[in-house]
Structure 1
Amino acid sequence: MSKKNVDDYLTEGMYGTRLPKDHERKQFLGTLRERIVLALTKGQVMSNKGLEQLEEAMKENPEAKLIINGHVSNRFLKEEKKIADKYNIPHSTITNQEAEDTDIGAVLTYDYAIDKEEIFIKEEPEQPDAKQETETEDPSFFSKIKSWFD
């Protein structure tokens, strides 16, 4: 292990000791990815997508806690907090400058590693109705001519 120099001591004195995986902590509202049960993006929180999955995850993980991004307006977080209160899940809001750079709106997490493979909710693309597709589909000039000879 290398010796610390004066700059290292000054940096630690001004900013505190370095935490391992600091970039991960900034992205996931102060926790590590390996501890997360479920992560919701800001868009999912604002549109209330993923509430069912969040509630199911809270049922299955009663010892977890909910961390909320403080840069998301409280009016969007009412349902998440309501579900957390329903299952006696403690929740806290993180409002620091580092959390501002992340796209994460809320995470359900433990204080220890659980190494869950998939922590994000897969958003299904909206499927347009078949009727709308046929109405908007405009055949090309050549396909019209070809249909005359068929």
Structure 2
Amino acid sequence: MSGPNLEDYLQQGIHGQKEINPDERRKFLGTLRERVVIALTQAQVREETIFSEVEAAIKLNRTATLLLNGNIDYRHLSKYMKICTDHDVKYTIVTNKEHNSDIGLVLAHDYAIDKEDIYVTKSKITYEESNDKKGFFSKLFKRRG
């Protein structure tokens, strides 16, 4: 059984610490897929409303950490940061200048949980809420009667 040799130390000094699954870590904002409780895309984080699934997951997983993509404008991140503050959950803004992940938010533990469905697939905005908005098309197709 041999331990690290001089070549290993030199390679580590030149290239940095060896990392397990670097592509997966870049995608999931520095963590591994097996640790993720719930994830949103950047587009979902940019929506005006808060996803109730994320809020419920934060409340249920108080020992987890919320990782937020630092390439997203702060005003979109702040609503999720407030939920974390209200429920005493840690959060971190992660910015990778070399790789911009399409993931915008990840709630993850520091150990594996192997949850199968981590992505929120539906939008929080319901049909009734969208009818309340007075946009161009709602005025154009207004019922007359």
Normalised to the residue count of structure 1, the TM-score between the two structures is 0.73
With over 3 angstroms needed to count, the CA separation of the structure-2 counterparts of 1:40 and 1:5, relative to structure 1, is same
In the alignment, structure 1 segments of 5+ residues that lack a partner are 128-134, 136-150
Q: Which amino acid aligns with 1:109?
A: A
Structure 1 residue runs of 4 or more that deviate by more than 6 Å after TM superposition: none
Q: Which has the larger radius of gyration?
A: 1
Give, in whole Å, the separation in 2 of the partners of 1:116 and 1:25. Answer: 17
Is residue 102 from structure 1 mapped to residue 112 from structure 2 by the alignment?
A: no
1:85-110 deviations in whole A, cap 9, x for unaligned?
Answer: 11111111111224x33101110000
In the alignment, structure 2 segments of 5+ residues that lack a partner are 128-140
1:108-128 deviations in whole A, cap 9, x for unaligned?
Answer: 00000000000001136x98x
In the alignment of these two chains, the number of paired residues is 126
Percent of matched pairs sharing the same residue: 40
Q: Which has the higher helix share?
A: 1
Q: Kindly state the Cα deviation for residue 5 of structure 1 after the two structures are TM-superposed.
A: 8.7
1:51 is matched with which residue?
51
Q: Is the 8 A contact 1:37 1:107 kept in 2?
A: yes
Is residue 32 from structure 1 mapped to residue 32 from structure 2 by the alignment?
A: yes
Give, in whole Å, the separation in 1 of the partners of 2:108 and 2:122. Answer: 21
- Name the Cα RMSD after superposition: 2.8
* Secondary structure, counterpart of 1:101 in structure 2: coil
Q: Is the 8 A contact 1:40 1:50 kept in 2?
A: no
Q: Is the 8 A contact 1:65 1:91 kept in 2?
A: yes
Give, in whole Å, the separation in 1 of the partners of 2:115 and 2:49. Answer: 21
